[in-house]
């Protein structure tokens, strides 16, 4: 196995092996985390967009793991291609409410529970909607109405909309003007910088007990050109590079190995 060959206790580029405590704190990660912390305190709507594989969902995972369950109630919903009725059922279940009623009754129950959590229990709700670019216009309209509490005088909960960059274009439509005006934080991922790419790779290798010297600088430069700072693409090509490097009996992953891995990724 390539892990043994390179002195690694596991594949550091396998997302299933990444622990929140070992998160690489890129500029994107820090910016998103800071905005999430701010949104947690002031409540309201936050929008976070990134191309696939940039790490926004992992940043959400790290944020939710740090939440004190005695102070906040958090729900993560990812089934975005649903009807309004089904969306309300999901939200009711997340809030511990009965979901076998009509839309108007569920809406009323949800608003009452959100206010109760905020005002009486002092445990405000944080709702995370991932892949939000797939939400239909009716759900987006109702999200705006859910935020309207006590004659629109108070924000009872935090709503986090995460999705691909297309989500920004959806929110720019005139029909979503009222919802867009309620957005209090907004961040678009940029990807790992020139310096962050090698730091990201080296940190992951160290986390698995390996030495950064198993890959040379020319190979890392090739990765950056190929990935354009996308962590998922880096993870995929590094896994291929270690597999090919061990088969080629290369103790150091060089540009030759990396080029072969990049070509392999292009064909897959």
- Cα Rg of the chain (Å, integer): 22
Beta strand pairing call for 73-77 and 44-49 = unpaired
Q: Write the CB contacts of 205 (distance below 8 Å, at least 6 apart in sequence).
A: 8, 12, 211, 212, 214, 215
> Do the Cβ atoms of 185 and 43 come closer than 8 Å?
no
| Residues in contact with 74: Cβ distance below 8 Å, sequence separation at least 6, in sequence order | 64, 67, 125, 126, 127, 128
| Sheet (strand 125-129) strand order | 73-77, 125-129, 158-163, 44-49, 183-188
Contact 29, 23 (CB under 8 A): yes
pLDDT digits (tens, 9 = 90+) for 44-72: 999 999 999 999 999 999 999 999 999 99
- Report the distance separating Cα 33 and Cα 206, nearest Å: 24
Distance, in Å, from the CA atom of 39 to the CA atom of 27, rounded to the nearest integer, reads 18
What 3-state class would DSSP assign to 129? strand
Q: Determine contact, residues 160/20, Cβ cutoff 8 Å.
A: no
pLDDT of 80 higher than 90: no
Output the pLDDT for position 20: 92
Q: How far apart are CA 225 and CA 203, in angstroms?
A: 19
- Asked whether residue 251 carries a pLDDT value surpassing 80, the answer given is yes
Q: What is the mean pLDDT of the chain?
A: 93
Do 77 and 92 contact (CB within 8 A), yes or no?
A: no
**Contact between 144 and 93 (Cβ < 8 Å):** no
Top-confidence residue, 49 or 144:
49
Neighbouring C-beta atoms of residue 131, cutoff 10 Å: 17
Helix (H), strand (E) at residue 75: strand 73-77
Model-level pTM?
0.92
- Please say if the pLDDT value at position 151 is more than 70: no
Task: Return d(Cα 89, Cα 237) in angstroms, integer.
Answer: 40
In the chain the domains, ranked by start, together with CATH numbers, are 2-16+193-267 (1.10.8), 27-188 (3.40.50.300)
Q: Which residue, among 237, 243, 207, 229, has the nearest Cα to 50 in the 3D structure?
A: 229
């Amino acid at each position: 196995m390539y892990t043994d060959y390179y002195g690694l206790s596991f594949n550091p580029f396998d997302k299933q092996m990444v622990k929140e405590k070992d998160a690489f704190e890129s500029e994107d990660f820090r910016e998103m985390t800071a905005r999430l912390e701010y949104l947690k305190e002031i409540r309201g709507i936050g929008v976070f967009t990134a191309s696939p594989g940039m790490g926004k969902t992992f940043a959400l995972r790290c944020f939710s793991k740090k939440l004190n369950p005695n102070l906040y109630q958090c729900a993560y919903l990812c089934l975005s291609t649903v009807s309004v009725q089904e969306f309300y059922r999901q939200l009711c279940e997340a809030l511990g409410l009965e979901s076998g009623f009509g839309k108007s009754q569920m809406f009323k129950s949800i608003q009452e529970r959100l206010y109760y959590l905020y005002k009486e229990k002092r445990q405000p709700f944080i709702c995370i909607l991932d892949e939000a670019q797939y939400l239909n216009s009716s759900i987006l309209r109702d999200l705006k109405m859910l935020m309207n509490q006590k004659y629109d005088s108070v924000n009872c909960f935090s709503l986090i909309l995460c999705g691909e960059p297309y989500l920004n274009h959806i929110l720019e439509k005139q029909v979503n003007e009222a919802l867009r005006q309620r957005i209090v934080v907004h961040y678009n991922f940029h990807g790992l910088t020139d310096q962050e790419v090698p730091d990201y790779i080296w940190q992951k290798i160290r986390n698995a007990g390996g030495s950064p010297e198993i890959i040379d600088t020319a190979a890392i430069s090739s990765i950056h050109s190929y990935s354009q700072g996308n962590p998922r693409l880096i993870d995929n090509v590094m896994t291929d590079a270690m597999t090919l490097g061990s088969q080629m009996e290369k103790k150091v992953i060089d540009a030759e190995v990396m080029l072969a891995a990049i070509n392999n990724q292009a064909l897959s």
